[in-house]
Amino acid sequence: MVIEVKQLEAKELVVLGIESSCDETASAVVVNGRYVRSNVISSQVNVHQQFGGVVPEIASRKHIEVIDSVILKALEDAKTDFDGIDLIGVTYGPGLIGSLLVGLSEAKAISYAKGIPFVGVNHIEGHIAANYLGNSDLCPPYVCLVASGGHSHIVLVKDYTEFEVMGKTTDDAAGEAFDKVARVLGLGYPGGPAVDKLAKEGSATIDFPMAFMQKGNYDFSFSGIKTAVINYLKKHPDAPLADVAASFQKAVVDVLAFKLFEAAKDAGIKTIAIAGGVASNSGLRKKVKEMAEEYGVRVYSPPPVFCTDNAAMIAAAAYYRYIGGYVSDLDLNAVANLSL
Ligand code: KG4
Ligand code: ZN
């Protein structure tokens, strides 16, 4: 629901963020949507590694085990307690339903017990808001690429809570492509950082397909590139894997960057941002910097720790929702397929 929020001018608003949409249990304390006082992330990656991906049922159980201590640590690191918190921001979708429910129920319980208002945050909006952390001069409008394990979106950020999706993937997300290709290359889970590392040792000598490259189309398709990598390895079993990784990464990065800059150009926007786990990719960060000069635009990116899942970005997004007049009710439910 939307209600009028009063008496907010010039006050320092301290937000407790809670994030549990996938396999990271995270909490953070952020002031006025920009200044991170603490950022605690408890990763379940070791638990899921043996299965080659996230097992939803195990993920929810692990969230329950650690969420209390993660939140208390975030408060302790920020040298505060619940009395020092003005607002709770919590991810309510999209994500794994069981995992989302753990964070959301926790937020509601704290909100009810302590009388602190809470705001449900869209996880994708959170990824975008990660750009406000450490970039005190960034403000809308800008065009943001959100590339994570579940999403690849080009978003026109018209205002802090107003978004227009200009393009998105028609099949796999960019991070999903990294994870699948990593498995094919025998690099394990999570694949993105491993491919990024191996790519640095190779040369991008192989041409992998880049889909939908016609102008004016900002949608992505990444399922074909995984098949192309598998077929290439079948034909060339002795191919240096570092070259395959470098070539795959280049193909994905070039498509992401090209579409991002073209979308901004067509929208007449001179500011660009990147977000999501794939935004920590060294190849993408380098490419975007190079293209910024060519296109004459300013580029923002969060530090890598705020690209992958974290709660500071959720707190930042919650701040802007709250000052925009939004608060959530205790009957808010988690929405696994929530769209932006
Ligand atoms: O944003 P995120 O932490 O979780 C989701 O919301 O999905 O993104 C995780 C995704 C995974 O697919 C992971 O492989 C990818 O981001 N990723 C990377 C890198 N670091 C994480 N992909 C490419 N290069 C990286 N350095
Ligand atoms: Zn995410």
pLDDT at 1: 46
Sole residue written with tokens 């200009």? 166
Q: Is the predicted pLDDT of residue 9 greater than 70, yes or no?
A: no
Ligand in nearest proximity to the CA of 176: 1
Q: Is the predicted pLDDT of residue 238 greater than 60, yes or no?
A: yes
**Residue 9 placed within a domain:** no
Q: Is the predicted pLDDT of residue 288 greater than 70, yes or no?
A: yes
215 and 199, same structural domain? yes
Distance 132 CA to ligand 2 centre (A): 16
More confident residue, 244 or 1: 244
Please work out whether the CB of residue 309 comes within 6 Å of at least one atom of ligand 1. yes
Q: What is the CATH number of the domain that holds 174?
A: 3.30.420.40
Residue 47 — very low, low, confident or very high, per pLDDT cuts 50/70/90?
confident
pLDDT at 19: 98
**Residue 5 placed within a domain:** no
Are 310 and 28 contacting, i.e. CB atoms less than 8 angstroms apart? yes
Q: pTM of the predicted model, to two decimals?
A: 0.94
191 and 211, same structural domain? yes
Please work out whether the CB of residue 302 comes within 6 Å of at least one atom of ligand 1. no
296 and 153, same structural domain? yes
pLDDT at 10: 55
312 and 290, same structural domain? no
Domain limits at 243?
140-301
**Residue 265 placed within a domain:** yes
Sole residue written with tokens 């960057």? 257
Distance 226 CA to ligand 1 centre (A): 16
Ligand in nearest proximity to the CA of 180: 1
pLDDT at 6: 43
Nearest-CA residue for ligand 1 atom 8 is 277
Q: Is the predicted pLDDT of residue 51 greater than 90, yes or no?
A: no
Ligand in nearest proximity to the CA of 302: 1
Q: Is the predicted pLDDT of residue 7 greater than 70, yes or no?
A: no
224 and 105, same structural domain? no
294 and 168, same structural domain? yes
Distance from C-alpha of 152 to C-alpha of 149, rounded to nearest angstrom: 8
Please work out whether the CB of residue 306 comes within 6 Å of at least one atom of ligand 1. no
Please work out whether the CB of residue 190 comes within 6 Å of at least one atom of ligand 1. yes
More confident residue, 2 or 41: 41
Ligand in nearest proximity to the CA of 172: 1
Residue 242 — very low, low, confident or very high, per pLDDT cuts 50/70/90?
very high
Please give the tally of structural domains in the chain. Answer: 2
Pocket mutation for ligand 1, best pick of 100, 278, 286 (most atoms within 8 Å of C-beta): 278
**Residue 337 placed within a domain:** no
Please work out whether the CB of residue 39 comes within 6 Å of at least one atom of ligand 1. no
293 and 186, same structural domain? yes
Residue 212 — very low, low, confident or very high, per pLDDT cuts 50/70/90?
confident
Write out the chain in H/E/C secondary structure: CECCCCCCCCCCCEEEEEECCCCEEEEEEEECCCEEEEEEEEECHHHHHCCCCCCHHHHHHHHHHHHHHHHHHHHHHCCCCHHHCCEEEEEEECCCHHHHHHHHHHHHHHHHHHCCCEEEEEHHHHHHHHHHCCCCCCCCCEEEEEECCCCEEEEEEEECCEEEEEEEECCCCHHHHHHHHHHHCCCCCCHHHHHHHHHCCCCCCCCCCCCCCCCCCCCECCHHHHHHHHHHHHHCCCCCHHHHHHHHHHHHHHHHHHHHHHHHHHHCCCEEEEECHHHHCHHHHHHHHHHHHHHCCEEECCCHHHCCCCCHHHHHHHHHHHHCCECCCCCCCCCCCCCC
Please work out whether the CB of residue 94 comes within 6 Å of at least one atom of ligand 1. no
**Residue 333 placed within a domain:** no
Q: Is the predicted pLDDT of residue 5 greater than 50, yes or no?
A: no
What does the pLDDT look like over 69-125, one tens digit per residue?
999 999 999 999 999 999 999 999 999 999 999 999 999 999 999 999 999 999 999
223 and 102, same structural domain? no
180 and 58, same structural domain? no
What does the pLDDT look like over 161-176, one tens digit per residue?
999 999 999 999 999 9
Please work out whether the CB of residue 24 comes within 6 Å of at least one atom of ligand 1. no
Q: Is the predicted pLDDT of residue 209 greater than 60, yes or no?
A: yes
pLDDT at 54: 87
**Structure-token pair, residue 309:** 């899942």
148 and 99, same structural domain? no
**Residue 120 placed within a domain:** yes
More confident residue, 31 or 216: 31
Distance 172 CA to ligand 1 centre (A): 13
186 and 100, same structural domain? no
**Residue 109 placed within a domain:** yes
Please work out whether the CB of residue 149 comes within 6 Å of at least one atom of ligand 1. yes
**Residue 2 placed within a domain:** no
Order across the sheet with 118-122: list the strands. 35-43, 24-31, 14-19, 87-93, 118-122
pLDDT at 45: 86
109 and 165, same structural domain? no
What does the pLDDT look like over 52-80, one tens digit per residue?
888 999 999 999 999 999 999 999 999 99
pLDDT at 29: 98
